[in-house]
């Protein structure tokens, strides 16, 4: 009898745990559905593809590209890293803001995208361009706020908005390093191996055409001078891609893939030496 009673008690305990788990699952599922479906066009509820698309767009808006949601959902971030400590000059002349959303990317010879960024900055300054290079660490910002890698553009948006609140820029460059095979990411110009470049434009915001026109203009300038140096302009949209890259913040913003993970730092520097005068040409209006 005691054994039977003990067995029934264990069974009730198991049922209780299962009911609690089921309740929690249902609770959070309903909350998520209400959150995702709010503001969705009722007509689209009749078409499953439309529902999926609208839910995806809403998810993208409020998690991938909205720092108000991720960074400030508990108020302002409690841990802030210093943004650029440099102050943009108030004098005339062209200005560039240079940062890297994925600032932990590295090349085959172990130098990082930040090393490439510093070399690019030095070259552009020789073209009489004021360059503000981001000094805050975006990767460290992610760690401090317990965000995963997919939230990188949310974190970099915080830095960009902070910088744009201080000054306007003629060109904003998000510098990246691609992950492709060496043959695709390398070309030979003037007897030197050079890391090829690629312009990436997010198509999932209303004013992407301005960013596309800018990227295509720079691609054409490079193409005219060094035919195989640029891999072109890549328009990105749809599932599994960011689709905006914070380019909705400014029509003067480009995402530039500088070489790939198989390139050496020397190949990257060779490319920077070639494109710096071309960027100077674009900004200063001087034909070289």
% the chain with pLDDT above 70:
72
Q: 45 and 120, same structural domain?
A: no
* pTM, two decimal places: 0.71
Where does the chain show beta strands of DSSP type E?
A: 95-99, 130-133, 171-178, 186-189, 192-195, 197-202, 230-236, 253-260
**Do 136 and 262 fall within a single domain?**
yes
Mean of all residue pLDDT scores within the chain? 81
| Residue 270 located in a structural domain | yes
The residues, any chain, with a CB within 8 Å of residue 63's CB and separated by 6 or more, are: 69, 70, 151, 154
Quick check: is 37 in a domain?
A: yes
* Host domain of residue 183: 95-284
Higher pLDDT, residue 81 or 249 = 249
| Among 70, 105, 122, residue at a domain's last position | 70
Mean pLDDT, rounded, for 240-266? 95
Buried b (16+ CB within 10 A) or exposed e, 34-45: eebeeebeeebe
> Could you give the number of structural domains in the chain?
2
Asked if 260 and 182 count as a contact pair (C-beta separation under 8 A), the reply is: yes
Pairing of strands 186-189, 192-195: antiparallel
Contacts of 209 (CB under 8 A, 6+ apart): none
Dihedral (Cα; 248, 251, 252, 253), 10-degree rounding: 30
Q: Does residue 80 lie in a domain region? A: no
One domain, residues 191 and 112: yes
pLDDT at residue 187 greater than cutoff 80: yes
Same-domain pairing of 126 and 211: yes
């Amino acid at each position: 009898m005691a054994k039977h009673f003990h067995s029934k008690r264990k069974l009730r305990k198991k049922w209780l745990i299962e009911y609690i788990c089921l309740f929690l699952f249902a609770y959070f599922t309903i909350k998520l559905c209400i959150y995702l479906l709010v503001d969705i066009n009722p007509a689209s509820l009749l078409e499953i593809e439309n529902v999926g698309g609208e839910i995806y767009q809403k998810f993208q808006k409020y998690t991938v590209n909205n720092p108000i949601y991720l960074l400030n959902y508990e108020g302002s971030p409690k841990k802030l890293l210093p943004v650029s400590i440099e102050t943009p000059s108030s004098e005339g002349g062209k200005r560039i803001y240079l940062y890297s959303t994925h600032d932990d990317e590295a090349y085959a010879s172990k130098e990082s995208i930040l090393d490439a960024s510093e070399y690019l900055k030095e070259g552009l300054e020789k073209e009489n361009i004021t360059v503000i290079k981001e000094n805050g660490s975006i990767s460290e910002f992610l760690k401090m706020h317990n965000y995963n890698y997919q939230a990188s553009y949310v974190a970099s948006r915080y830095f960009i908005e902070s910088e744009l609140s201080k000054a306007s820029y003629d060109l904003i460059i998000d510098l990246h390093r691609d992950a492709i095979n060496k043959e695709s990411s390398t070309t030979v110009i003037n007897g030197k191996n050079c890391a090829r470049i690629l312009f990436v434009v997010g198509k999932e915001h209303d004013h992407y055409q301005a960013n596309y026109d800018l990227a295509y203009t720079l691609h054409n300038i490079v193409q005219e001078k060094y035919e195989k140096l640029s891999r072109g302009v890549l328009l990105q949209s749809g599932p599994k891609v960011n689709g905006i890259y914070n380019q909705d913040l400014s029509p003067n913003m480009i995402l530039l893939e500088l070489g790939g993970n198989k390139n050496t730092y020397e190949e990257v520097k060779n490319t920077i030496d070639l494109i710096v005068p071309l960027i100077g040409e674009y900004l200063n209006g001087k034909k070289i």
